Amino acid sequence: MTAPTTAVESLVQRVVERNLVFVSPQIFPDRGPDASVRSSAVQYQYGMYDRSYGRYYCQENPLDSVYYRNYNYQCPVHARYLPQIPLKKYYTADGEYIYRLGERGSGFRSQTDVQDYYVLRNQCLESGSLFEDPEFPATSSSLMFSRRPDRHYEWLRPHEISEAPEFFVEGFSRFDVQQGELGDCWLLAACANLTQDQKMFLRVVPEDNSFEDEYAGIFHFRFWQYGRWVDVVIDDRLPTYRGELIYMRSSEKNEFWSALLEKAYAKLHGSYEALKGGTTCEAMEDFTGGVTEMYDLKDQTPPNLFQICEKGFQRNSMFACSIEPDPNVTEAETREGLIRGHAYSITKIQLADIVTPTQSGKIPLIRLRNPWGNEAEWNGAWSDQSAEWRFIPDEQKEELGLSFDNDGEFWMSYRDFCKYFDRIEICNLSPDSLSEEQANRGKLRWEMSTFEGEWAVGSTAGGCRNYLNTFWHNPQYVIHLEDPDEDDDEGKCTVIIALMQKNRRSRRNMGVDCLTIGFAVYRVTERDLAQKPLKMNFFKYNASVARSPSFINLREVSCRFKLPPGDYLIVPSTFEPNEEGEFLIRVFSECKNSMEENDDEVGVGDIDDRIAPDVPIPSQPSPQRQAMERLFLEVAGADGEVDWVELKRILDHSFRDDLPKSSSVNGLNKSYANQQNASNYDDGGGGGGGLLAQLCGLFCKDTPFAEAFGVNDGGAAGGGDQSANLQNQIVPVQRVDQSGDGFSKDVCRSMVAMLDVDQSGKLGFEEFQTLLTDISKWKAVFKLYDQDQTGRLSAFELREALNSAGYHLNNRILNGLVHRYGSRDGSIAFDDFIMCAVKIKTMIEIFRERDTEGTNMATFSMDEWVEKTLYS
């Protein structure tokens, strides 16, 4: 056996380094006897393990060699160059990771184990059984969610429908897609468009699907879902009635790729019924990962629409169109032969040469296709066999690929198209959708930027500009446009902004509908961007320069703009505040753009001047320090330390005005508590009477914290007689009522853990002293923002409150805090706010302890990380 050449070694090394799996390595060797391989002739794709071409072949000694097959030629690769290549991570030909449905990060939850097509197929082959999908069973629940079927449907496999089923019959084409009983013509129109591009088609419909080699009743398809590709596994049982397919089918009775594709798409969304009604844009995006636009041809037709379409075809865009439905008749036919409420695909746009007896020139023509694939076609000018075709030269007819079959495909003039159709949809493909061969033919690429985000109740779901006070809480994104379009006379940039809400169609069976969404665009300067994020005053005094056409409850809202080069702020939002959902925002431009989130950086800053410019911690012996230490020791007991139970008793009593009221106070004499409620607290919110106020009064007297605890020069906090009476105020406790009101166990334990360096579960006096400083600061912050003195903050105020305490957090962390500590009404109670502050301070200090060089990076071993996070 000849040793591998440098080209093969390089190929294997790259695959192993990237933890990838071979797919169709196309190795074209010299045909000499030594079967050597020229370096320049090695081409490969990295991605999914390919059953047909990436299969292992062993010869002589199985441990000595591995073969990769290229059609009729086998190229040997020595095993020592091929360490174990795991079949766990899959990639597209463009290097994008492919998630399996239900896999962590895929955006979907699996009811059973994550389904790996190759593992499941091999299991079926080994057991000699045909795959039955437990996640999409052959039952009525997979057909409909709103009602029961009106007749009995039988689920049959293709070999039970046809004697010789095939996945493809003579390849694939737009004529393989014919509509069944389901109202998903929008999906069929997108399928017809998909067949026009081989690379895109094979990315959705993998070539290793087959009814021949290694058939096990299992198939898989890949769809783009909100920024990632997802592999969907299905069995091949299809719903039939009297032996005929009831949904999508091919014109060839023994061809099944289109029916299986529709089933996989139905599984992705929960049922076949979930596919009823939609826009072609939605399906085209799921097949390509592109960004779509919709234009109203009656009221808002841009004057340069044909030029937009031409540019779209230069960039390999996909097109569809439709006519408004008749409210009284489903899919009514017009006198011109067009179907209302029906999605058509546009398969070609061209300026065609025309020669008449009086003049010559060019005429804009459009070719369309009805997914029904029958004689239901346009019967006006430029229809099949119409007289106008005699003015088109023969060579032009050949270039157009003209044919006059009853196949649902026809031509129209652009003028008639705008007259008779109501809407056109354009899917602009992402840069990675263009193949090298298409680029060499002159096809152009879009430049794309993308971000994922979330609207969280009380945090980042601020509503539209009508709600000025909360609008600025929405996520903000800055887009920088560098150069104008090459052919733009005004020096402007073409920009398409698309806002897509995630995972709504798949939850229709739970009554979830699309949110009403939109976005606004603002011109910003470097001075504006010094503030992250921009606050309410910016939006109060600056008007938007562009916005979405309307707020609407579609999966995606998009619009094309012409903007001068510069910096722009995009604010995506729901119409009403506190509407929760996830979204994806994308920006396409003809020239280069860059995009970033306009959000705060996580870190520690200065304390708000309104709270405390300085917090003196007495280090020298003083009467105040000695009195505080005496009080602490009396509370702590003989061990001189405070555990979480003793801390809870102190906090519950001292903050009883800030916590939910109860008929008793944990760990305290009830009559004493009632007495203190009557005498030590005033209704004006003086806030912190009681034991903790006395302790903090000694420590914080003559500092800005004193007011927060109701302590002043003439207050009782500094008197020694309170210390003497302390033992009369505390009742020995054998058991803590863990179900009562007050600070939770978690808060008290977290406070102890925050300062418990030796992990003893207790605080000494020095640690307790630091805790009092933090608590006094956090209470002062809470009081500042709890202006109506309800004992609760609006979750929208959490960012500002934490900023005042000296903590800067980004939207993702804030959303997590609101999810974790916020209530259903979008508010945060006092003890939850304290818990937030404790957690933030603890985690930041754990990180900074390891980030000794200030690089904003820290390293932890697994056991260190588990220890730190569990105890904190």
Secondary structure of residue 324 in the 3-state scheme:
coil
Is the model's pLDDT at 4 over the cut of 60?
A: no
Across 286-295, 369-378, 510-519, least confident range: 369-378
Instruction: Identify the H or E element spanning 192.
Output: helix 185-194
pLDDT at 741: 63
Give dist(CA 490, CA 448) in Å, integer: 22
Residue 193 burial (C-beta neighbours within 10 Å; 0-12, 13-18, 19+): buried
The per-type count for the chain, helices as H runs and strands as E runs, is 24, 32
- Give ∠ CA 774-775-780 in degrees, rounded to 5: 100
The rounded Cα 421 to chain-centroid distance in angstroms is 34
What pTM value is reported for the model?
0.72
Q: Structure tokens of 810?
A: 């980004």
pLDDT at 178: 80
Domain(s) labelled CATH 3.90.70.10 in the chain stretch across: 299-440
Of 124, 185, 191, 321, the active-site residue reads: 185
185 is annotated as an active-site residue: yes
What are 350-366's pLDDT values in tens digits? 899 999 988 899 999 99
Give dist(CA 785, CA 489) in Å, integer: 53
Instruction: Identify the H or E element spanning 499.
Output: strand 493-501
DSSP secondary-structure letter at 134?
S
* Average pLDDT across the chain, whole number: 78
Of 220, 269, 342, 653, the active-site residue reads: 342
pLDDT at 718: 42
Residue 654 banded pLDDT, cuts 50, 70, 90: low
342 is annotated as an active-site residue: yes
Give dist(CA 784, CA 609) in Å, integer: 12
Secondary structure of residue 431 in the 3-state scheme:
helix
pLDDT at 282: 87
User: Using an 8 Å Cβ cutoff, are 394 and 354 in contact?
Assistant: no
Query: To 10 degrees, the CA torsion angle through 358, 364, 366, 367?
Result: 50
Q: Which one has a higher pLDDT value, 12 or 293?
A: 293
For tokens 């280090």, name the residue.
Answer: 619
Q: Identify the top-confidence range among 88-92, 512-516, 565-569, 836-840.
A: 565-569
Residue 658 banded pLDDT, cuts 50, 70, 90: low
- Give ∠ CA 686-688-691 in degrees, rounded to 5: 140
Secondary structure of residue 256 in the 3-state scheme:
coil
User: Using an 8 Å Cβ cutoff, are 574 and 455 in contact?
Assistant: yes
pLDDT at 622: 64
Pick 299-440's CATH classification: 3.40.50.170, 3.90.70.10, 3.30.300.10, 1.10.3720.10.
3.90.70.10
Residue 793 burial (C-beta neighbours within 10 Å; 0-12, 13-18, 19+): buried
pLDDT at 532: 92
pLDDT at 193: 81
Give dist(CA 318, CA 312) in Å, integer: 8
Helix pair 765-785, 830-850: axis angle to 10 deg: 130
CA dihedral for 258, 264, 266, 269, sign (positive or negative): negative
CA dihedral for 152, 155, 159, 164, sign (positive or negative): positive
Q: How far is CA 474 from CA 167, 360, 495, 581, in A?
A: 48, 56, 22, 12
- For residue 741, the tally of other CB atoms under 10 A from its CB is 17
Domain(s) labelled CATH 2.60.120.380 in the chain stretch across: 446-599
Query: What is the b/e burial string over 16-45, where b = at least 16 CB atoms within 10 angstroms of the residue's CB?
Result: eeeebbbbbbebebeeeeebebeeeebebb
pLDDT at 162: 92
The 3 state secondary structure assigned to 380-419 is CCCCCCCHHHHHCCHHHHHHHCCCCCCCCEEEEEHHHHHH
Query: In DSSP terms, which residues pair with 207 in a beta bridge?
Result: none
Secondary structure (DSSP) of 53-99: TS--B--SSTTTEEEEEETTEEEEEEGGG-----SS-EE-TTS-EEE
Instruction: Provide the pairing of β-strand 238-241 with 228-235.
Output: unpaired
Give dist(CA 343, CA 188) in Å, integer: 8
What are 173-225's pLDDT values in tens digits? 877 888 788 878 888 888 888 887 888 899 999 999 999 888 999 999 999 99
Is the model's pLDDT at 1 over the cut of 60?
A: no
Q: Give all strands (DSSP E) within 173-217, no chain letters.
A: none
- For residue 107, the tally of other CB atoms under 10 A from its CB is 19
Is the model's pLDDT at 19 over the cut of 50?
A: no
Of 193, 370, 593, 598, the active-site residue reads: 370
Instruction: Identify the H or E element spanning 313.
Output: helix 305-314
Give dist(CA 456, CA 467) in Å, integer: 16
Across 26-40, 487-501, 538-552, least confident range: 26-40
Give dist(CA 310, CA 221) in Å, integer: 31
Q: Which amino acid is at 376?
A: A
Across 144-148, 319-323, 843-847, least confident range: 144-148
User: Using an 8 Å Cβ cutoff, are 834 and 807 in contact?
Assistant: no
User: Using an 8 Å Cβ cutoff, are 564 and 491 in contact?
Assistant: yes
Q: What are the backbone angles phi and psi of residue 334, rounded to the nearest 5°? A: -85, 170
Is the model's pLDDT at 294 over the cut of 90?
A: no
* Close Cβ partners of 841 (under 8 Å, ≥ 6 residues apart): 754, 774, 807
Residue 437 banded pLDDT, cuts 50, 70, 90: low
Residue 104 banded pLDDT, cuts 50, 70, 90: confident
pLDDT at 683: 39
Is the model's pLDDT at 64 over the cut of 50?
A: no
Selection from 206, 218, 260 nearest residue 98 by Cα: 206
What are 671-714's pLDDT values in tens digits? 333 444 333 333 333 344 445 555 555 445 555 445 544 554 44
Give dist(CA 766, CA 642) in Å, integer: 11
What are 235-261's pLDDT values in tens digits? 999 999 999 999 988 888 899 999 999
What are 753-799's pLDDT values in tens digits? 888 877 888 888 888 878 878 888 888 899 899 888 888 888 899 99
What are 491-545's pLDDT values in tens digits? 999 999 999 998 877 777 677 788 999 999 999 999 999 999 999 999 999 999 9
For tokens 């280069």, name the residue.
Answer: 592
What are 790-805's pLDDT values in tens digits? 888 888 999 999 999 9
DSSP secondary-structure letter at 333?
B
pLDDT at 624: 62
What sections of 655-704 are H helices per DSSP?
A: 670-679, 691-700
User: Using an 8 Å Cβ cutoff, are 267 and 139 in contact?
Assistant: no
Q: What is the mean pLDDT of residues 563-567?
A: 95
Q: What is the mean pLDDT of residues 426-446?
A: 73
Across 390-404, 426-440, 654-668, 811-825, least confident range: 654-668
Q: How far is CA 276 from CA 144, 182, 269, 272, 288, in A?
A: 10, 6, 11, 7, 21
* Close Cβ partners of 519 (under 8 Å, ≥ 6 residues apart): 497, 499, 547, 548, 557, 570, 571, 572, 573, 585
Q: Which CATH superfamily is domain 602-654+743-871 in?
A: EF-hand (1.10.238.10)
The 3 state secondary structure assigned to 793-853 is EEHHHHHHHHHHCCEECCHHHHHHHHHHHCCCCCEEEHHHHHHHHHHHHHHHHHHHHHCCC
Q: How far is CA 299 from CA 302, 340, 423, 426, in A?
A: 9, 18, 10, 17
pLDDT at 657: 67
Is the model's pLDDT at 133 over the cut of 70?
A: yes
Give dist(CA 700, CA 697) in Å, integer: 5
User: Using an 8 Å Cβ cutoff, are 548 and 557 in contact?
Assistant: yes
Residue 267 banded pLDDT, cuts 50, 70, 90: very high
Instruction: Provide the pairing of β-strand 90-91 with 603-604.
Output: unpaired
pLDDT at 671: 36
pLDDT at 34: 34
Pick 446-599's CATH classification: 2.60.120.380, 3.40.50.10320, 3.40.920.10, 3.40.50.2300.
2.60.120.380
pLDDT at 689: 44
Give dist(CA 343, CA 331) in Å, integer: 10
